[in-house]
Structure 1
Amino acid sequence: MKTYLMARRFGAVAISLALASCTTTQADFYKKPEAVSKAALCRALVETQDPAFYQGLLGEVARRGIAPQECYQMVQEQNQAAVALAAIALVGTAVAVCANNNCGGGYAPSRRYPGNCYSYYDRAADGSLCGNRSAMSRPGGW
């Protein structure tokens, strides 16, 4: 179970780093604005709190012919994809943990029943339903 928790944490860190790498710093932007990718430019435009940097980003977005609304939509789609990926990873982890810990419920005998009629709906050797002849139907089981 410790492995699954570590994998889940690693996934969360990987998603955070991936989204963080999709932005640009002010120094990188002002050094060479045309070298900044569209995704990094849009994410910085959406996330910045600095009005002067925002105006610079807005100017570069306009120079490239990108509508600001397109940036907001792209960042929203990236965030939704990241959330979906995290949800899939979380569900996968939960399924794996349950598979290893038998948290699905039901009866899991410690040893296999030696005959054909363990449950009411099993088939006997002659092909008929076991019904009340099954081990689960008898007091004390098998």
Structure 2
Amino acid sequence: MGKTVTRGFAVAAVSLSLAACSTTTKEMDTQPQKVGKAALCRSYVQSQDEGLRYKIHVELARRAVDPASCFQMVQQQNQAAAALVAVAVVGGAVAYCANHDCGGGGGYRPYRGNCQYDWQYDAAGNRCGRRSAWSRPGGY
């Protein structure tokens, strides 16, 4: 449950931060010059309110910003946010696996004797042959 909560929190945080990068009709009516370019562009691209879109278009024109460039800016912001979430999720998974031994490996453990394979030599210098773990039924 911990990973799910963490992922949900990360997604919610990014969503809220991107939502905060927009503007309202009230802000456009009172002080449009104080609204940042990113907020103007995000609102211009995402708003369904034609009146708000018109006000934003006028403000963008006043700032000599091509409204068509807003679509690319918003797309780049969304991609950056998605990459941030991906890095957070992968980083969380790596941290979890580092602490919970989920690296796979199929239960590999190193052999602790001298004769793991038949072609090796034992401590006395004799070839292991059929005495090796590899040659015995069940392995080692």
**What letter is aligned with 1:81?**
A
Whether the 8 Å contact between 2:22 and 2:39 is mirrored in structure 1 is: yes
1:132 Cα offset (Å): 7.0
Q: Deviations over 1:93-131 (max 9, x none)?
A: 34444442525242245xx754355578999769xxx88
CA distance in 1, matches of 2:36, 2:71: 15
Gaps of 5+ in 1: none
Whether the 8 Å contact between 1:98 and 1:104 is mirrored in structure 2 is: no
Aligned-residue RMSD, C-alpha: 3.1
Q: Which fold has the larger relative contact order, with Cα–Cα distance below 8 Å and residues 6 or more apart in sequence?
A: 1
**What letter is aligned with 1:107?**
G
Give the aligned partner of residue 10 of structure 1: 9
Q: Deviations over 1:28-56 (max 9, x none)?
A: 22110001011101101111101111111
State the TM-score, normalized to the length of structure 2.
0.76
CA distance in 1, matches of 2:138, 2:25: 75
Give the aligned partner of residue 30 of structure 1: 29
Number of residues of Structure 1 aligned to a counterpart in Structure 2: 136
Q: Cα gap change, 1:138/1:40 in structure 2, threshold over 3 Å: closer, same or farther?
A: same
Gaps of 5+ in 2: none
1:85-96 matches, within 5 Å, as 85-96=84-95
CA distance in 2, matches of 1:40, 1:98: 39
**What letter is aligned with 1:106?**
G
Whether the 8 Å contact between 1:23 and 1:43 is mirrored in structure 2 is: yes
- Which range is displaced more, 52-61 or 77-86? 77-86
CA distance in 2, matches of 1:104, 1:75: 39
2:69 is the counterpart of 1:70: yes
Whether the 8 Å contact between 2:24 and 2:52 is mirrored in structure 1 is: no
**Which structure has the larger Rg over C-alpha atoms?**
2
2:58 is the counterpart of 1:59: yes
